[in-house]
Every structure is written in C-alpha cells, then in structure tokens.
Structure 1
Amino acid sequence: MIRVLLPDARRWPALDAPLSRVLGKADHDGPHANPWLAEMFGLPAAGQWPSAALTRLVDAPEAAEHNRRWLRADPAWIKADINGGKLLAVGETMPMSREDVDAFLPVLAAFFQEAGIDFDAPNPQRWYLALDSAAELPEFHGPTEALGDEAFEHLNFSTAHRRWKTLMSEAQILLHQHPHNAVRAARGLPPVNSLWFWGQGTLPPQRRPALGNIHTRDAALAGLGTHHGLNVLELRELPAQLEADALYDLRGIAPSDIARRLPAWLGAAAIQMLFEDRAAITVHRGQRHRIWRRPLQVRPST
C-alpha cells in the first residue's frame, strides 16, 4: 500500500465531482497522520518527539552520537510589545545563511561552553545543544505551537528550571548586542535576538518499519527514516506516479496542487491518505461498486 501524509483537510479546496465521488466510496476509518507515524516508528503517541536528535542525523551524519541527548536552540526573532514579545520567526521560518552562522557561532559557543554545554550549528536554521543525560529541562514547546503567539506564554520556567531561564535571557542579551544584526537589518532581514529551545531527547530504539522509500522535505521525518534503515529521498516536486509501498510526505505542499494530482494517483494502487486533522481515507479499486455512498464534501479553504 502507498501512504501519503497530507495537510489538514480543513485547508483543502472544494473537490470536483468525480474526485468527491471516489473519496466518498473510500474507507474512512484509519488513524490520523501523527498517531500513525508514532506507532510506525516507535515514538510516543502523546507529547513531543525527540526532534533535535532526529534532525541532527540529517544535519551532521558524520558526527552522529546515537546515545546523546540533544536540544534544538534555533535562531529566533521575538518582537517586543506591551505584553512581552511575539515569536515572529524561528528556525526554518528564519532567513539565515552560513555567513550569519559564522558571525553568531563564536559568541554563542563560548557562552554555552562556560555553562558546560556544547553548542553548534551544522545547519544555518537548526542549531543544537548537547546535553548531559541527567539535565532537568522545562517542557519546551515546538515552533509550530508558538509561532505568532506571545513567546512567554510558551516559556514555563519553574523555580527548578531557573538555569534555563537565565541561559535564554543571557543569550538574548548577547544576540541583541551583536553587531551582525546591524548587517542583517541593512539587508532587510529580521534580527536574531533570541534562541528557541525545543525538541529535546534521544533517538528512539531502532526498528524496521514495513515501508519502502520515504519521500519528504521534513528533516525530522528524514532523520527517522535514516535512523531506522530506510531509504530517504528528498521530495522536490509532486510525482507523476507513486511507488508501491512508499511513504510520501506532502504536508508542506499546497492542498490545491495535491487535489489536482490526486485523480491520476488514485487509479494506480491502494492508497492510504493520512491527514493531520481527521481519520485516514483508504482508496482501492474494489470500492468503485459502492454506488450507495454519498460524495465526500470538504469545507473550501478560506
């Protein structure tokens, strides 16, 4: 079976009549995308994944340490307001170059080294801290949860985690004062004035999922596939045809583009469409005789 990870169904455009009839005849009782991924790859069904350890397999494979505990410390832009500050860009939504890393890295690496923590930035948009296995951490929130919100609503530093509040505050001072932010401003780029901690953990136990190739642009999923010995291919564009037993991660692609390509895919083989916000839809040839089923209706995107 081919499996396709899809964006929220709520973002989809209205389906044309033939496609809505095909999907209306399909089976609608599978898992959502994230629980399916968690079960397939041995990750926790609730809570955050060890994204830092996973993406590091992609960013620094030559220095992979499978038992090491990692934390992302991504470059971020927090814009001050009367309530504190909004997180407007972080990590992969932050325009960054290797020149930026070369400017900020020495100061940050020296700062964290004094605190007994190794810091590096093998990818301009994904920065890392190597943690002691016994280090006690707050519950850091991922960027998708916090982006656009008041940053401090997602920073729950208790008394026990005062050290991490101090580290973030002192890093913000260093970045605010850094002369390279003037260079970025002259280029029309936002300042790097904070770090965003998230994605803590170690790699999960290895297993061999019953999958073929993985096609994705998501670094965490690419790291998962690599860790479990699967062949991972970068998804550059929507394919004309789908490979048997493969997993296609289309979550970052416009739903309207996917909807246009779906009719050509659905006649090829059994396909399980795994949405982030609703039960999966499984389509196969044997469903064409279900003439009593109503066409599938989705709310048009706005």
Structure 2
Amino acid sequence: MAAPTTASATLLLPARARFGAQALTPEVARPLGRADRQAREAGERAQLERHFDMLPRGWPVAALTRAFDADDAPLSTWLRADPAYVRPDINGARLLASGDALQLDVVEAEAFIAALRPTFGDAGMPIDAPRPARWYLRLPREAKIAPMTAPSEALGGDLFEHLPDGPEGRRWRALLSEAQVLLHQHPMNAERMAAGKPPVNSLWFWGGGVLPDHVTTNHAIVHSNEITVRALAQVAGSHGEDLPTRFAGTGLFDLREMRDLRQLCDLWLDPAFDAVRDGVLASVHVDCEDGTDWTLLRPQRWRFWRKPHGAFDA
C-alpha cells in the first residue's frame, strides 16, 4: 500500500476585495466552506513574510533584487531609485507609474542613467540600471537608510510625502529635485511622448538595506512572475520558475496579479482542491493579502454540515 502523500501547494492571492462583486463557483465555494480559516496580518510585506523568513529582520527589497540582477549585492547597502512618472497638481506631484509600467528599453534606461550619474556620483551613491525597470543607488555598507514606501503602496500619492522627515529627508528631497530637473530636460522624454509613452520625469526611492545573512522558506519550488518573490526564492535557495497558465504540481504559486475570480476558480482553485480530494496533495493553503487564510485537507470533505462559502470577501 502506498504511503500517504505529504505534498502540498500554497496559493498567494490578492486582497479579496480586488475581485469586487464576482461570485465563487459552486465547485470552489463548497470545499472552501469546509476548510479551516484564520485571520493573519494584512499587507504585501506581511503576506510574503509568512513564507520567507529573514535574519536580521527587515525588508531590504533593493538588496534582494540586486542579488537577482547582479553578483555584487553583499558588498554594499542598496536603495532602489526606480524610474517614475509623476504628474504635478496643486498640492505637489503624484505618482502615476514606475518601473515595469513605463516599458523602458535598455537604450532609454542607459540614456537617462548617463544624465543622472554625475549628480549621484558626487553625492557618494553611484547609480546604475542592470535592468531597464530597476535602477539602484549603491551606498557604503554601513550606511543607514530610513524606511521609504514601495511604489505599489503609493500609486496616486504625493511624491514628497513618502520621503523621510528631518535632515535626512531634506537630503533626499534635494537629490530628487535635481534629478527631476535633469529628467525633465532630457531629449529622450520628447521621443517617448511622441511615441505615446509616459515621460520618465522622476525617481522613486525605496527598499533600502543590506542583503540579509539568511533567508529561508519551506517551499522548494516558487512559481512567480514578480521580481521580489523570485529574488527571495533565489536567496533562500529555492527553485524559481515562471508562473504557469493553470494549477499543476507543488510549491508556492504567486497569483496576486489575478483579478478575474471565475478564471481563478476554473484554472487554479478548483484543480488544486480536486488534487486534495483525490489524494494527490495532502493540503492546499490559500493565503490572501488581506490576511484571510484557508487550509484545505482531505478529511474536511466529510464536514457535510458546513455551508458553501458565500461572497468571497465575506
């Protein structure tokens, strides 16, 4: 007789509210209603920290992604200085896009970086762009950087409100203002706007820190198209893969970009739950960014008294 499987899968989902009023399919609502549910801390960082443990504690995204992009991450403190598009308004300037959303190519990125090098080099923090969407400032390893907001959490927000206060904040504001002047005057932006692309008229500072001494995870395989998750997997020694088009196999599946609930049910939740019902997997873990968390186990199929789950965000 074959031994019971111990294989499992974890599905990372966005906050349930991102799906609006869409309804769960009956095939998903039934097992979800019978599953074990608990509430955890909400937020992108808290969600990822449930699956990747770092020592020392912190959230040095710049150093982690630098390790993915280049081989020099342990040598310095790193800060992301990603290309950004901001739009001035009466109260300041609001972030509308950054990084990948700007669709920069290598030639464009290098042209912008060349204009910025003297400013940041004179400030003792060289700037470079190993990938067109990810720009970095290199600082001495002993440098301390105040926490700064990730662009995903600041879309639509005022640029300067997300910089540190006090003398350190004044330093970053001065550097940012000088960089904005250089970018605004850059001829590459005229070419981009003529092609219907947004200009690169600012930078977004965030993710500062040094590479952690240790990153661990329980997931041997991590399926994701998002750079931070892939970087965490690489530093933790897991096997990183692009996200497949539907559920198959084991490991961590990063589905946080999904917004179509029917597609999520048909391609991911239903086949994952079937794998538990059929004994192919021992468990499936569903982790939402809002902190809602379900664990599905095969014996739960006998919980006939439990009603199917109602609205997904209930």
Q: Could you state the TM-score of these two structures normalised by the residue count of structure 1?
A: 0.90
1:23 aligns with 2:32: yes
Q: Which SS does the other structure have where 1:66 is aligned?
A: helix
Q: CA 1:251–1:204 in 2, change beyond 3 Å: closer, same or farther?
A: same
Are the aligned partners of 1:136 and 1:161 in contact in 2 as well (CA < 8 Å)?
no
Are the aligned partners of 2:147 and 2:208 in contact in 1 as well (CA < 8 Å)?
no
Distance 2:49 2:81 in 1: 24
Are the aligned partners of 2:77 and 2:210 in contact in 1 as well (CA < 8 Å)?
yes
Deviates further, 134-143 or 217-226: 134-143
Q: Decide which of 194, 218, 228 is 2:202's aligned counterpart.
A: 194
Q: Which SS does the other structure have where 1:147 is aligned?
A: coil
Q: CA 1:36–1:157 in 2, change beyond 3 Å: closer, same or farther?
A: closer
Distance 2:72 2:265 in 1: 39
Structure 2 partner of 1:87: 95
Are the aligned partners of 1:267 and 1:285 in contact in 2 as well (CA < 8 Å)?
no
Q: CA 1:176–1:92 in 2, change beyond 3 Å: closer, same or farther?
A: same
Shift of 1:133: 2.9
Distance 2:147 2:45 in 1: 20
Are the aligned partners of 2:145 and 2:209 in contact in 1 as well (CA < 8 Å)?
no
Percent identical among aligned pairs is: 39
1:251 aligns with 2:256: yes
Q: Decide which of 138, 152, 155 is 1:147's aligned counterpart.
A: 155
Distance 1:83 1:45 in 2: 38
Q: Decide which of 205, 209, 213 is 2:213's aligned counterpart.
A: 205
Distance 2:48 2:82 in 1: 24
Shift of 1:162: 2.1
Q: CA 1:252–1:36 in 2, change beyond 3 Å: closer, same or farther?
A: closer
Q: Deviations over 1:72-95 (max 9, x none)?
A: 000011111111111111112222
Q: Which amino acid aligns with 1:42?
A: D
Are the aligned partners of 1:52 and 1:70 in contact in 2 as well (CA < 8 Å)?
yes
State how 1:1-302 maps to structure 2 within 5 Å: 1-12=8-19, 13-29=22-38, 31=40, 34-35=45-46, 37-43=48-54, 49-60=59-70, 63-235=71-243, 237-243=244-250, 246-256=251-261, 257-261=263-267, 262-268=269-275, 269=281, 270-299=283-312
Shift of 1:116: 1.5
Q: Which amino acid aligns with 1:297?
A: G
Shift of 1:207: 4.5
Q: CA 1:232–1:50 in 2, change beyond 3 Å: closer, same or farther?
A: same
Structure 1 partner of 2:3: none
Q: Which SS does the other structure have where 2:214 is aligned?
A: coil
Q: Which amino acid aligns with 2:210?
A: T
Shift of 1:44: 8.3
Q: Which SS does the other structure have where 2:148 is aligned?
A: coil
Shift of 1:208: 4.2
Q: CA 1:203–1:278 in 2, change beyond 3 Å: closer, same or farther?
A: same
Q: Deviations over 1:30-61 (max 9, x none)?
A: 64574353244224899x7211111112222x
Shift of 1:210: 2.5
Distance 2:247 2:311 in 1: 24
Shift of 1:7: 1.2
Distance 1:45 1:282 in 2: 29
Are the aligned partners of 1:28 and 1:282 in contact in 2 as well (CA < 8 Å)?
yes
Are the aligned partners of 2:83 and 2:200 in contact in 1 as well (CA < 8 Å)?
yes
Q: Deviations over 1:18-39 (max 9, x none)?
A: 3211100001026457435324
Q: Could you state the TM-score of these two structures normalised by the residue count of structure 2?
A: 0.87
Q: CA 1:155–1:210 in 2, change beyond 3 Å: closer, same or farther?
A: closer
Q: CA 1:181–1:34 in 2, change beyond 3 Å: closer, same or farther?
A: closer
Structure 2: tracts of 5 or more residues without a match: 1-7, 276-280
Q: Which amino acid aligns with 1:292?
A: W
Q: Deviations over 1:168-219 (max 9, x none)?
A: 1111111111111111111111111111100001122225432221111111
Q: CA 1:161–1:16 in 2, change beyond 3 Å: closer, same or farther?
A: closer
Structure 1: tracts of 5 or more residues without a match: none
